[in-house]
Amino acid sequence: MKKTLLTLTFLLCVIILKAQLFSEKSLYSNTTGIRGKYFNGTGGRGYWTYEKLDAFGRTIEKNSHKKNELLGKDLYQYNDKHDITQIIYAYSISNPQRVDTVKYEYDYINDRIAFQKCKWFANNDSTIYRLVANQGDSVLTYQEISYHCPPGKKADHSFERTYILTYQGSLLVKKEVITDDKTREITSYEYYNNGKLKRRTIKREPEPEQQGVYVGGPGSDDQFYRYAYDREGRIKKLYTIVENKTYKVATYSYENKTRD
């Protein structure tokens, strides 16, 4: 349960920094480590993470904690385009003896991901994203197919979704998700001048009979974000604004490379 609560809070922080279909490419120059403290989660205060960075400024190790207790350790590998090729879940407090690995494969067209396959080695489940339409690099359509592999059986088709991504320059401004039953979820994004997310709105078609409940922190289908930065332009404090009320989501501190 502790792992779930931290993950929900941490995912909120990751997703809003730069909304996109594939994993974010965050490169922190002159930085060797990042410590994040997270607030307003349903599990209360005390959650924090430490990320170790490589020479490119990519996260290669992430440790998640509740106060002084280690909750999880994840290890990352990348290709020369800075896309993740492997995640090793080296430790989880919910199952300390289990080590799980997820591997990613890619094909590219003009530096766009045209194909991605991710496979979980613990259960052989896999998910494939395939680019099926491209309108001048401004509107991209991907098909997602997931496969579940029950023990002792062949993998079967679990579900299928379509993603329509609309870009303005390098920024994703709209993401439309269409499921097997033809329901649609349309997420729109607005940004500050520096490219950080300012506002995110969600519309669903048809409208659900009951409104969903946000967990892991304050949330809404119409949500704003605000940031404070350090001298290097890195996020120092992260806030979210829900129904005109401001919440502090996370604070970050950074370890810098020593100068020769």
Sign of CA dihedral 238, 240, 246, 250: negative
CA angle 223, 225, 231 (to 5 degrees): 175
pLDDT at 150: 75
Domain that includes residue 106, residue range: 2-256
pLDDT at 81: 94
User: Which pTM was predicted?
Assistant: 0.84
Please state the domain count of the chain: 1
pLDDT at 41: 59
Name residues whose C-beta falls within 8 Å of residue 93's C-beta, 6 or more positions apart in sequence: 2, 3, 69, 70, 71, 72
- Mind listing the pLDDT tens digit of every residue in the chain (260 residues)? 333 333 333 333 333 333 335 766 788 889 999 999 998 655 557 899 999 999 999 999 999 999 999 999 999 999 999 999 999 999 999 999 999 999 999 999 988 899 999 999 888 899 999 999 999 889 999 999 999 877 777 767 678 999 999 999 989 999 999 998 889 999 999 999 999 999 999 999 998 877 777 776 788 999 999 999 999 999 999 999 999 999 999 999 999 987 65
pLDDT at 228: 98
Query: The CATH number of the domain where 201 resides is what?
Result: 2.40.160
Q: State the amino acid at position 45 in one-letter form.
A: R
pLDDT at 23: 64
Spacing of C-alpha 21 from chain mean position: 9
Q: How far apart are the first and last CA of the chain?
A: 45
pLDDT at 26: 80
